[in-house]
Amino acid sequence: MRLLHAARRPARVIPLAAALALLAGCGGSNDEVAAPAPTPAPPAGPVALGCAQLAGLAIPAASIGLPTRGGSVTTAVTVEASGSGARVIPEHCLVTGTIAPVDTTAPDIQFRVALPTTWNRKVMMFGGGGFDGTLPNVTGNVPAGPADQALPIGRGYAVFASNGGHAAGPLGSLDGLFLQNEEALRNWGGEALKKTRDAATFVIRARYAVDKADRAYFAGGSTGGREALQVATRWPDDWNGIIAWYPAWNQMTAILAGHRNNRALARPGAYPNPAKRQLVYTAAMQACDGLDGVVDGLISNQTRCNAIFDPDTASVNGAPLRCPDGAEGGDGCLSDAQIAALKGTNSATRLNFRMASGETSYPGYNVWGADLGITSNPNPLQPTVTFLNFGTEPPAFPMPTGAPYISRQTDALIRYGITRDPGFDSLSLDPENPGPWAARISELSAFLDVPVNLDAFAAKGGKLLLAHGLVDVLVSSRATQEYVQRLRSRMGASAFEGFARYYEAPGYGHAVSTAFNVAWDSLTTLENWVQNGTVPPPQVMSDAGGAVNGRTRPLCEYPRWARYNGSGDVNLAASFSCVDQEAAPQTQRQTAFGAVVGTDLSATSGTYAWKGVPFAKAPVGELRWKAPVDPDAWSTPRFTQQFGPACSQAGRLYGPGLNNRYDASIGSSLGQTVGSEDCLFLNIWRPAGAATQLPVIVWVHGGSNISGYTADPMYDGANLARRANAVVVSVNYRLGVLGFFNLGQLKSGNPLDDSGNFALLDIVQALKFVNRNIAAFGGDAGNVTLMGQSAGAVNVYAVMTSPVVVSASPALVHKAIPISGGLSPASELPAGSIATLAREADFRGQADYLLAQLVIGDGLAPDLATAATYIASRSPAEIASYLRGKSANTLWQTVVGKLAPIGAGGSGPIPDGQVVPVNPIAAIRAGAYVKGPLLVGNTRDEGKLFPTLLPLVGGPAGRLIDDATVFRIAFAQDPDAPPTQRIEQWIPGAYLPATTPTTGWNAKTEQLNRIFFLNSRDSILAALRTQQQNIWVYRFDWDELPAPFDVIYGAAHAFDLPFAFGNFGPSLYANISYTSANRSGRLALSDAMMRSIGAFARSGDPNNAALGLGWPTWPATLVFDATPTAKAISVQ
């Protein structure tokens, strides 16, 4: 996956034109002669053929260890000695040849051999790069080989290489046309290596009249690095020593990870231009360069940098790196879309389908400190760096020639190798959930991903030198770390040390760098180890054309890194020492599934944060509509510094938009399918420091069980964690028909799967993760408070009454804070109330209707009656397969277009009797629930957020503008500006004046509040009071919004949440609510609310000094309110 031939290190200065020239092949002498007709194979016996006699030599198919139609030498010429000193190229016979494929439509393999007149009885094979396609320069150097040491041919090696099985066109290593032929693809995937080695060996035997060489070495980088590990794994008897730089050892998996990055960079506004790349590079350097003890333009302690650098909060030259409000702000800052793309590159890719290779994920890349293509850098190496990194144009379809290297490579592989459709839009393929292309990708992985098994190579005495640049964003050094760790685990540390070494180079990217362009004498080190048994001593690398030409550094063995000794010339390796990594970065924690590294936010919020921690496998494919299962374990630390995707949903005001954050795309994506089915992630915040046994608060977001996302900035847990002195956890869970689905054909006899309550089981799975792992984050697994609002409160009550949770041992939850929600069937409510728990039969009817509409939509039936007949004719297994084959978009758009218009688009707990009691209120009265302290909350004006439901209390719909307009106004509003909106623009005249008794806005929304929220709350509280007394209730009355929003919304549903989390924007209603004038009062009120939540989580009693009064238990109610300047808390 590189432009340069992996077997040839770049010259000290290599402009782009020179790099591109490499793609056309590195020719030998110009006096090559056309071969005569093939001559017979050499006779048996030690008769050496002269150089000219090799021309036309036939290579029998039987001499090649994989199927071919044999080969032949096409040219053989003597090349005179040239060069001087270490650069001398001795006289040699330069041979070119071809190997014929079995498939006559496939291209030949072209190979080249340089046979020195004075041979040292050793051979060297060079690997290729990218898609190969050109012949590496066999008189060149090993990757990153130094200019002051002899070349392999200068040392007397016979050197050979091939074009990987096809001849590239003008695109060079990015030419993927050959992938349309299966034999050519498999040749590039590794088979050409064996065929070339055997053909070259036949030629070498003929030239030198020997049975075999004394030693055989292989050197390559990137694709050539994969090839190096491949030959040692598949054909270990052929090789004695291996040099593998930046190896794409799991190349199919790496391609998928790169493609995930492509799709992120292709989003509107996400691609950072060169000026912004310079900005984030500078910010990372200012934050991390000194971590190794000296500011020298290199980040040596990359692990520590990854843990502390967060572009959301970083500064550059004293100014915030993030643009104001995350909007595009020009070249002086990064927008939220650009930060999200970079954080995505830093995070792991999860493969939610089975790969034949067994690979399940790919770690992120070290973005912070990487030169992504800073085109203003005058270094002659810069054009090549830019070409190999982010290029000059964002990914698109068709793929631009200036797009990132990985974008162009993955585009070709998808179009020619996977779909075999040159017109296919590669960006439409989801690499984590590839759907119909999963089988083909899996097939390719079987030979493009190299198994981690060097047992035979080590057993025969082979030696391996691995190396990788730390800021490689084409092939991740974290992937090489993973390879090494797996190899160590497989063989044991002692056996690994007996044959392998892995080194990491700070500042070095993929094959080239303007910061530190590595030169390292790996070949001498390998020769001494293989031939003399000399264990590699401490290694030194030099900078060959980077920022400080000629400076040296220790090349440290992973996981050690180079730290400045505190004195001495910073340009000399002797001034540095390789030191052990910290026992773990400050934010690294070990979970049952692997280590996670979070972000140190102690300087900004006083917390540590871990975002996007997987707590279950992606519920896709056969796992859709099944209980969640544990995630696959990972072996290298996972950087959990970015929220995981929101769960799949139809866009709403309260959804994640297109970018999983609060931004303008929320308003433009209403009704569209957003989010992902691969969404079972949680986030953790804790106060900075080493405190343990902290109370744990697990947050369940609201959104009617059809929308919502933990990345909503209103739910950021940092302020609550610090103020409550608690560990705060927020949890994603499946939504809508993906989270609650009661279809008979899906039932298998498993009570959890058959319950249909997949969303609730996700929350339970998250609680199990917390129980097993939260101690590592300083939390007390024996003191967990489950907190949720609206649908989140509904789910809290469902979990607290679930037989699964009630019987759990150890206990998963101990207290609860349900806010603005209930779980009462109609039978437990006064007449006219809105039930907060529907019947199981209602959910069965919904599922049946959805299935029928899908069948009709596919043209399998014209109407509902015919659809029912069609469905009845199919087996449950066929129906299950049919439904699991539907995309999330198809499901959601059917819900939006067909179910919602008839009132069947809702979602929520299903009273199946296994996961959710048939009647949770009765279960509470019977004592069958998790008994623990409860803190219950509501807002005074809950109903004002639901004006479209006012017909339920005998009035017209209560909103004159649509959601898109609401969002546009709320997003653009300046809270401190004079009012631009009038209440008459929002509320129908039938409800005005708002204070009119009985029929006014306030009166009617209060009626809605009573039938929707308060009746259900009172139903549950009455049942709870039969079992316990430790129940506290609050009402949130704050309504100091600027006019007219103080009347339109007042203390509406969810308006207490910014106070509970201490986050006053950016969020949906922040700009119409929070003014400079009301700041003092709301901050004081927020502080009291967070401290009350912390006191409750800690002891089960919310009373604390910040309240300024005592908070009695229910039926008393504490009122949270404030004036513009001070809190005003009272008891009713």
Report the catalytic residues.
Answer: 222, 472, 510
Q: Is 1052 helix (H, G, I), strand (E, B) or coil?
A: strand
Report in angstroms the alpha-carbon separations of 539 from 79, 150, 490.
Answer: 35, 18, 26
Helices (H) and strands (E) in the chain — how many of each? 35, 35
Is residue 198 within a helix (H) or strand (E), and if so which, with residue range? helix 192-208
- Report the C-alpha gap between 353 and 336 in whole angstroms: 30
Residue type, 794: V
Q: Is 686 helix (H, G, I), strand (E, B) or coil?
A: strand
8-state DSSP, 574: G
Q: Is 375 helix (H, G, I), strand (E, B) or coil?
A: coil
Would you mind telling me the total number of residues written for the chain in this entry?
Answer: 1132
CB burial of 341-365 (b: ≥16 within 10 Å; e: otherwise) equals bbbbbbbbbbbbbebebebbbbbbb
Q: Please, are residues 641 and 683 in contact by the beta-carbon 8 Å criterion?
A: no
Q: Please, are residues 754 and 914 in contact by the beta-carbon 8 Å criterion?
A: yes
Q: Which residue has the tokens 């048994």?
A: 533
- Report the C-alpha gap between 41 and 605 in whole angstroms: 76
Query: Which residue spans within 470-547 are E strands per DSSP?
Result: 500-505, 518-519, 539-543
| Phi and psi torsions of 795, nearest 5° | -70, -30
Q: Which residues pair with 784 in a beta bridge?
A: 696
Question: Positive or negative CA dihedral for 255, 261, 262, 264?
Answer: positive
Contacting residues for 640 by C-beta, under 8 A, at least 6 apart: 347, 596, 597, 598, 610, 611, 612, 613
- Report the C-alpha gap between 428 and 435 in whole angstroms: 11
CA atoms within 13 A on the CB side of 980: 10
- Report the C-alpha gap between 932 and 916 in whole angstroms: 18
Q: Which residues pair with 221 in a beta bridge?
A: 245
Q: DSSP assignment of 952-1020, as one string?
A: GGTS--S-SS-HHHHHHHHHH--TTSPP---HHHHS-GGG-STT-TTTSHHHHHHHHHIIIIIHHHHHH
Q: Which residue has the tokens 């008979």?
A: 744
- Report the C-alpha gap between 77 and 600 in whole angstroms: 63
Long-range contacts of residues 990-994, Cβ cutoff 8 Å, at least 24 apart: 990/955, 990/956, 991/950, 991/955, 991/958, 994/1047
Assign residue 208 a region (left: φ > 0; alpha: ψ between -120 and 50; beta: otherwise).
Answer: alpha
Is residue 851 within a helix (H) or strand (E), and if so which, with residue range? helix 840-857
953 closest CA partner among 898, 1014, 901 = 1014
Annotate 15-45 with three-state secondary structure.
CHHHHHHHHCCCCCCCCCCCCCCCECCCCCC
Is residue 779 within a helix (H) or strand (E), and if so which, with residue range? strand 779-789
Q: Are strands 673-674 and 694-700 parallel, antiparallel or unpaired?
A: unpaired
